[in-house]
Amino acid sequence: MIDSHCHLDFNCFDHDRAQILENCSKLSINTIVLPGTQASQWQKQIDLCNLFPQLRFALGVHPYFLQHFDSSHLVKLTHLLEHYQNKVVALGEIGLDTHIDVDWQLQKYVFEQQLTIAKEQQLPVILHHRNSHNELIRILKTTQFSQGGVVHAFSGSLQEAQTYIDLGFKIGVGGGITYPRANKTRKTIAQLPLYTLVLETDAPDMPIMGKQGQRNSPEYLPDIFESLLALRKETRHELLQACSKNVRDSLLLA
Ligand SMILES: [Zn+2]
């Protein structure tokens, strides 16, 4: 199993990261992707991936972390992506979020700049969204972005998901689907083509049902898988195989 989105580089895992990874191995979670969030965190992600072979990294500037943003970060990002072109799996996570108190024009600027870098370096992207599908899709279309990637923690309608799929993206399935009240998203995920689904935890965020208020962990990836299996028609084996293959088809894991 592959956790396609997990912030295991965050400080809240510093005291027990090795133990968590050992537990993950026992659960057959063999690959975990660490998405980038801000410039000050990139070196730590790279160091951790050197230390633990099951970890892989993406680099990028997440809209949440723009308070310390400086345009030199985009230069640094470009250089690091070039330097680690055989190791980096994507540019991300990047995107737009209407629920945070971060200047909208700045969010759009940093997102578009990173899309340009991804185009130049032929990298897929990991997309963050919150109440921002329309604008994300508009920008992806107007910039003719064609490298694809993953729409992380997808929530939304079948039509929205289909638009991303048509643009070459896979759909990130996270802990949200463990909540029966997430009706619309569960219905969407149940109907999507099998080749579009990838699993993720987004740990330490997005705790699964029953673990609200606790630190989320990649160890809960099998719980998300069970919820997905219950929504789908495929057998356990088919779904497991497809979810891993889909990550390899969208991020540069080879
Ligand atoms: Zn994330």
Model pTM greater than 0.95?
A: yes
Measured in Å, residue 5 CA sits from the centre of ligand 1 at 6
What are the angstrom distances between the C-alpha of 217 and each of 17, 58, 61, 86, 220?
Answer: 10, 19, 22, 27, 6
Measured in Å, residue 130 CA sits from the centre of ligand 1 at 12
The strand pairing partners of 33, in sequence order, are: 56
Q: Where are the domains of the chain?
A: 2-250
pLDDT tens digits, 20-30: 999 999 999 99
pLDDT tens digits, 183-220: 999 999 999 999 999 999 999 999 999 999 999 999 99
CB-proximal residues (5 Å) to ion ligand 1: 202
Measured in Å, residue 67 CA sits from the centre of ligand 1 at 17
pLDDT classification of 254: cutoffs 50, 70, 90 = confident
Per CATH, the number for 2-250 is: 3.20.20.140
pLDDT tens digits, 4-41: 999 999 999 999 999 999 999 999 999 999 999 999 99
What type of residue is 70? D
Beta-carbon contacts of 249 under 8 Å, excluding residues fewer than 6 positions away, are 170, 195
Measured in Å, residue 35 CA sits from the centre of ligand 1 at 7
Measured in Å, residue 207 CA sits from the centre of ligand 1 at 12
User: Among residues of the chain, what percentage have pLDDT more than 70?
Assistant: 100
Measured in Å, residue 95 CA sits from the centre of ligand 1 at 11
- For residue 14 the two structure tokens come to 């510093």
β-pairing, 169-173 vs 149-151, is parallel
Measured in Å, residue 244 CA sits from the centre of ligand 1 at 19
